[in-house]
Amino acid sequence: MGDLAGKVALITGSGRGMGRSHALIMAGRGADIVVHDVLKEEADKTAEDVRAMGRCAFVSYADVSDVAAMREAVKEAEAELGGIDILVNNAGIGGERTGIEGVDEAFFQRMYDVHVKGTFFATQAVIPGMKERGWGKIVNISSMWASTGHPTGATYIAAKGAILGLTKSWALEFAPWNITVNAVTPGGVITQMVLEKGGMDYVREASKKVPLGRYAEVEEMSYPVVFLCSPESDFITGQVIGPNGGQSIVGI
């Protein structure tokens, strides 16, 4: 499934966690990878592992919210690897676990800069090439909580909700160029970010709310992402896929 031979994929935030998993699985299916992360050592490690699989890797350390830097990174990556066929807007930061009183203006702004501004302008940077080639795949990473809400994460969830709005609008805007745009809304995933905020005690407690009884491994988020980047999903656009173990079942 999901032959990506000859494709170039840019995955923001691919130094660790889900982004790293997306990068390695896509490389395993034949794609060359634009590795992006503000974490230099982590980005370099992902790139090293991509190359060890026999694929090419270009590395960018740009802050996803720095529009000029991301635009330049895309330009340099296209010059080295060729046109970017796939974009996964994965870069993100953790949400607050407080009520409204715990959010200051700087935190609020950073949340939107990374998730919404970053997603918007990374997409803007790759779209001209996709339009020229008449093909492209964009997958935006939102969150299960964007569909359900959460009592202690309104800023994070509002930013992730905005990504769903971009997904649906872009699916319509880009369809004439055969560019599909979809979103993945992960539920609980065992990532370094989650462990740093709450540890395994938090994961074990939160897993009790999941019908399948556990948090996901990062690869279980990558498989739907890779599917949405593959030719098998060519007739799917504007859709939201929620791998969450049954914790959120959203009706039509």
Torsion angle defined by CA atoms of residues 193, 242, 158 and 113, in that order, rounded to the nearest 10 degrees: 50
Rounded to the nearest 5 degrees, what angle is found at the Cα of 43, between the Cα atoms of 37 and 49? 145
Cα distances (Å, whole numbers) of residue 196 to 2, 157, 199, 201, 245: 32, 19, 6, 11, 22
Residue 156 annotated among the catalytic residues of the structure = yes
Tokens of 38: 């503000």
| Residue 189 vs residues 13, 66, 83, 108, 193: alpha-carbon distances, Å | 16, 27, 31, 24, 10
Q: Which residues of 188-220 are buried (b: 16+ CB within 10 A; e: fewer)?
A: bbbbeebeeeeeeeebeebbeebeeeebbebeb
Cβ atoms of 36 and 43 closer than 8 Å: yes
Cβ–Cβ < 8 Å for 237, 175: yes
* Catalytic-role residue among 61, 112, 156, 215: 156
Q: Give residues with Cβ within 8 angstroms of 104, minimum separation 6.
A: none
Mapped onto helix, strand or coil, the DSSP state of residue 107 is helix
CA distance linking residue 94 with residue 12, whole number of Å:
15
**Cβ-contact 59, 43 below 8 angstroms:** yes
Is the CB of residue 142 less than 8 Å from the CB of residue 95? no
Q: Which residues are catalytic?
A: 156
